[in-house]
A and B are shown apart, each in its own frame.
Chain A
């Protein structure tokens, strides 16, 4: 070992010297002006990028309007925004509407509750991302947080006024649909994936295959339509289930089919010897699955699970089409206010920023996790 190390040191030192010798100038030349073709690309793209950045800076900051005067009746006077249209952004629309977009029609004085709910969700994501918490206790943390979310949103105890789900809206709805969707779809998906892999139970296998392929073959919107239009027909007369709950059920059923395929990938990646060794030890099916197979298989599929979750986070915006008040719908509601009607670009950019913030953080996390897991597996 010592030999190898001593051999390596001078080599590394030489490499470092070489790296230091490569000056910034030559690096720029290699990466931007390597050939005439590369130079042409750099110049053309550089011109477009500079123009774009300057135009965006001018529109978004220099000429932007951040607030507008309000008339005596409290109606915004957007004349200056109208005049600046096309020249400068009207961020005043976000200043005026951000509470509506973020929290919907939740009672104004009580909006600290959905704000805490949003923070709870973010905390939950961070805790779930830390590998120190990848233990059985994580399930308890999820149950606790989701219970707290429900309690805070509904209220009706300890002096908190009751707020029915008809008044929920905005970012909490988006987070609730995505997170509860994952929380309930995940156990279901594990069962479906196990069912699809079971050789001893052909009837169960057929059921699972049909379920997964059926759901994956149709768009989410058709499942949401089913929840909003057909679901009332399925229920006994007189039983009315809230629209939010119906959409949530649809998202759970939809997500479970996709997650089941992810989990199945993990089950397939596990060497057969693990299951055989467990059988040889005399473990029952459930012992084998719970203590040997799943802990290893699920660990393998955490990065694709995060990616699937990002997909569902974005897909919750589809509830706009069946008229639920998620973040996206609230953006459209904000735009239906006559004085602000024509400033949709600004509102859409605001919404996009929120989605990008969540999705970008998660995708970066999933990528770094993938690198770590690959490294630890010695690939």
Chain B
């Protein structure tokens, strides 16, 4: 045996000979290419057929494609809007933008409220109290088994059955519940409030910096400087001080009954209210199950081991249990957030003007069906992809770092 071949490590790694593709059905590479060409060809042919038909139909009906209609005056009355809107002069583009903002607003508030309610119910299901755990289980089971659309219609009917403004249900002289929606007091907004808000934001950033510093200190010396006095000072003290220095203005604008309706204060329309209540209660039933299974996924030994290490109960929850539970909870929670956002499109059934509703009115008025539906789809795809990206980033951040 020659020395060159004695040591197996020294044998040159022999590559598989690069085969030439044969033009034969028994060659996998060749087969794969043929399959792909056939399938893509079929899909392309169907797409071409549909596009061709559409072009002919549009030409026959004299519909001009394109987004030129966005600059025309819309004339759609819009009840709720976050930005100024006047049906007499505002364009379709602005109306559609308002729709997007309304969708985003209801989805954002809905996600926050549904998370809070769902977490409470999920924890309630794990309660040792028999009555509480059975009641929350009943809530989850019933709410999940009724179509959301039916629940929305139901809430909307209930809100419409409320008394007229003159006989409004009320809490004190501040909150009024009528068949025209909910009236709430508003803070009379002064520049001092904006400055206080800015101070709060700066305080929040300062708190984060301080916490980083505390962690470094702990790693260096083993002692963690107390962070709550600094946090309280930055988050509460500074904004309050700014507000007080600027004269501490505080005045509430109360809704007042004038004639047949209320004046002043803020309004939550019945449509918005019904949509929000329906979305939140429905999604909470799903979130409750996710939270419950997330908490149950943590073995009891984790609690016991943490307690044996001498951690306080709050620390056990924050440092040991939640980081592990979140890993189980985040992916299904993401899809519930996406579902809530997509389900907000049911607003059209009860007359809340979200993006689907306004785009639908637009396409009925202008006949631009393709553009209208493309707009709806583009908006939701953008929202969905953004939420998924954000949640994936967050999930990657908290994911278990394995060797």
Query: Contact residues of A with B, CB < 8 Å?
Result: 30-32, 34, 38, 41-42, 45-46, 49, 200-204, 207, 214, 216-222, 225-226, 229-230, 232-237, 310, 314-315, 317-318, 320-321, 328, 332, 344-345, 348, 351-352, 355-356, 359-360, 363
Name B's interface SS: helix
From B36, B53, B149, B342, contact of A320 by CB (8 A): B149
Q: Which residues of B contact A235 (CB under 8 A)?
A: 53, 57
From B50, B145, B346, contact of A359 by CB (8 A): B145
Known contacts A200-B28, A233-B369, A348-B150; 14 additional CB pairs below 8 A are A45-B132, A49-B131, A201-B36, A202-B36, A204-B39, A221-B346, A230-B369, A235-B57, A317-B149, A318-B346, A345-B157, A355-B147, A360-B145, A363-B145
- Stretch from B6-14, B86-94, B372-380 at the A interface: B372-380
A-contact 0/1 string along B142-177, CB 8 Å cutoff? 101111111001100110000000000000000000
Give the most central of B145, B360, B384: most A CB within 10 Å: B145
Cβ-defined contact, A203 with B39, below 8 A: yes
B336 at the interface (CB under 8 A from A): no
From B40, B157, B381, contact of A344 by CB (8 A): B157
Cβ-defined contact, A225 with B373, below 8 A: yes
The docked-state distance in angstroms from the alpha carbon of A335 to that of B75 is 31
A-contact 0/1 string along B17-53, CB 8 Å cutoff? 0000000000010001001100110010000001001
Q: Which residues of B contact A232 (CB under 8 A)?
A: 57
The docked-state distance in angstroms from the alpha carbon of A356 to that of B150 is 12
- Name which residue of chain B comes closest to A211, CB basis: B43
Given contacts A328-B150, A345-B157, A363-B144, contact A217 B385 (CB under 8 A): yes
Cβ-defined contact, B345 with A222, below 8 A: yes
Q: Which residues of B contact A229 (CB under 8 A)?
A: 363, 369, 372-373
From B58, B135, B157, B384, contact of A217 by CB (8 A): B384
Cβ-defined contact, B146 with A218, below 8 A: no
From A45, A207, A315, A356, contact of B135 by CB (8 A): A45
B307 at the interface (CB under 8 A from A): no
Cβ-defined contact, B149 with A219, below 8 A: no
The docked-state distance in angstroms from the alpha carbon of A37 to that of B121 is 17
Query: Contact residues of B with A, CB < 8 Å?
Result: 28, 32, 35-36, 39-40, 43, 50, 53-54, 56-58, 60, 127-132, 135, 141-142, 144-150, 153-154, 157-158, 342-343, 345-346, 348-349, 356, 360, 363, 369-370, 372-373, 376-377, 380-381, 384-385
A-B contact pairs, 26 of them (CB 8 A): A30-B128, A31-B128, A31-B130, A38-B128, A42-B129, A203-B36, A207-B39, A207-B40, A214-B381, A217-B377, A217-B381, A217-B385, A218-B384, A219-B342, A221-B356, A222-B356, A229-B363, A230-B370, A233-B57, A235-B53, A237-B57, A237-B60, A321-B349, A332-B153, A359-B146, A360-B141
Cβ-defined contact, B129 with A32, below 8 A: yes
Cβ-defined contact, A207 with B43, below 8 A: yes
The docked-state distance in angstroms from the alpha carbon of A217 to that of B389 is 13
Q: Which residues of A contact B384 (CB under 8 A)?
A: 216-218
Q: Which residues of B contact A359 (CB under 8 A)?
A: 144-146
Given contacts A233-B370, A237-B57, A348-B153, contact A356 B376 (CB under 8 A): no
Q: Which residues of A contact B132 (CB under 8 A)?
A: 41-42, 45
- Name which residue of chain A comes closest to B369, CB basis: A229
From B40, B346, B373, contact of A203 by CB (8 A): B40
Cβ-defined contact, A234 with B40, below 8 A: no
Shortest Cβ gap from A45 to chain B (Å): 5
Q: Which residues of B contact A328 (CB under 8 A)?
A: 147, 149-150
Cβ-defined contact, B373 with A226, below 8 A: yes
Shortest Cβ gap from A23 to chain B (Å): 16
The docked-state distance in angstroms from the alpha carbon of A356 to that of B145 is 5
The docked-state distance in angstroms from the alpha carbon of A45 to that of B130 is 11
Given contacts A201-B36, A229-B369, contact A352 B131 (CB under 8 A): no
Cβ-defined contact, A218 with B128, below 8 A: no
The docked-state distance in angstroms from the alpha carbon of A375 to that of B381 is 40
- Name which residue of chain A comes closest to B344, CB basis: A219
Q: Which residues of A contact B356 (CB under 8 A)?
A: 219, 221-222, 225
Shortest Cβ gap from A231 to chain B (Å): 10
Shortest Cβ gap from B66 to chain A (Å): 15
Q: Which residues of A contact B58 (CB under 8 A)?
A: 233
Q: Which residues of A contact B28 (CB under 8 A)?
A: 200
The docked-state distance in angstroms from the alpha carbon of A366 to that of B8 is 56
- Name which residue of chain A comes closest to B44, CB basis: A207
Given contacts A207-B43, A230-B373, A236-B53, contact A221 B129 (CB under 8 A): no
Shortest Cβ gap from A212 to chain B (Å): 12
- Name which residue of chain A comes closest to B342, CB basis: A219
From B50, B150, B157, contact of A351 by CB (8 A): B150
List of 5 A-B pairs having minimum Cβ-Cβ separation, nearest first? A359-B145, A31-B130, A219-B342, A217-B384, A314-B147
Shortest Cβ gap from B81 to chain A (Å): 22
Shortest Cβ gap from B102 to chain A (Å): 15
Shortest Cβ gap from B387 to chain A (Å): 10
- Name which residue of chain B comes closest to A222, CB basis: B376
- Name which residue of chain B comes closest to A174, CB basis: B147
Given contacts A229-B363, A233-B53, A237-B60, contact A218 B131 (CB under 8 A): no
Cβ-defined contact, A204 with B36, below 8 A: yes
Given contacts A34-B129, A207-B40, A229-B363, contact A234 B54 (CB under 8 A): yes
Q: Which residues of A contact B369 (CB under 8 A)?
A: 229-230, 233
Shortest Cβ gap from A368 to chain B (Å): 14
The docked-state distance in angstroms from the alpha carbon of A226 to that of B384 is 19
Q: Which residues of A contact B129 (CB under 8 A)?
A: 31-32, 34, 38, 41-42
